[in-house]
Chain A
Amino acid sequence: RKEVEQDPGPFNVPEGATVAFNCTYSNSASQSFFWYRQDCRKEPKLLMSVYSSGNEDGRFTAQLNRASQYISLLIRDSKLSDSATYLCVVNKDNTDKLIFGTGTRLQVFP
């Protein structure tokens, strides 16, 4: 079983749509959780950290369920510029090491 699992997609959605991505992780010792965005052939960039209470940053909302070891990302009012691969990331055993999911590809079309 992969340490971080995501649906690879692709998710093809029209502009303005709401789309949700899910992720599960296997390491119960993980303490830090993130969503990163990776554009084609580029380094990953932090989209947002994910907190137990849930958090929102503009059109993006992240949720964490520690009991189920489940993380989600909701994108509202999708823009063309949101097209990218979204990586679910957790830290390993409460260290600075990061474990990446394979990513979920999002394609927003006009």
Chain B
Amino acid sequence: EAGVTQFPSHSVIEKGQTVTLRCDPISGHDNLYWYRRVMGKEIKFLLHFVKESKQDESGMPNNRFLAERTGGTYSTLKVQPAELEDSGVYFCASSTRTSGAYNEQFFGPGTRLTVL
């Protein structure tokens, strides 16, 4: 079974530019999460999709961030325009959870974003 994949693995852009990150979850996983980790800090929740619907986007920093999951398969996270504080590692995770407590999340390798 293929794991969660993310593209690109690294991205270096200048302040003001646009970057789009992509996540392909494990096939059949309805739940897709985006997280961000800044060096030495916690893994911070950004948003949660169930299939193509945004279930919770309370962690999105501001309107410069736009996430989509068309068709309920892969997801994209666009940052436009990027700011210095957007630098960090962006993780995507997926799970099969539909109800109840069990929630094993499978993380992708992450995209390291550096904004100069």
- Bound pair: A and B? no
Q: Which residues of B approach A to under 8 Å, CB–CB?
A: none
Q: Which residues of A approach B to under 8 Å, CB–CB?
A: none
